[in-house]
Amino acid sequence: MVAAFFKGNFLVTKNSVLTPLKGVFRGADAVEQDSKSNYYVSSWVSGKVWKIDPKTAASTLLIEGLSSAADFYLEEDKDRL
């Protein structure tokens, strides 16, 4: 996984090739992956957190309106980020 902090591009490796995901994630700071291979990405700049489906690359905005969204930790057993 590679995120371009200023441009907002987010790339993942598929079949040994870096492939861009749909959407712009400017200021990407934290990235986690759950047991179902979903990605969670925070944007320090925009104060948002997205969930990204690995199969479709579609993103869902989970949280917005934070002063900033930096590092996080995924606790699947407690269903919280």
pLDDT value, residue 1:
72
CA distances from 78 to 2, 67, 74 (A): 27, 25, 9
Residues in the chain: 81
pLDDT at residue 49 in the model:
92
Q: What is the pLDDT of residue 38?
A: 93
Identify the CA nearest to 23 among candidates 56, 1, 47.
Answer: 56
| Domains in the chain: ranges and CATH | 2-78 (2.40.10)
Q: What is the pLDDT of residues 25-78, one digit of tens each?
A: 887 888 899 999 999 988 888 899 999 888 888 889 999 998 888 788 899 999
CA angle 56, 52, 9 (to 5 degrees): 95
pLDDT score of 74? 92
pLDDT at 78: 95
How high is the pLDDT of residue 70? 79
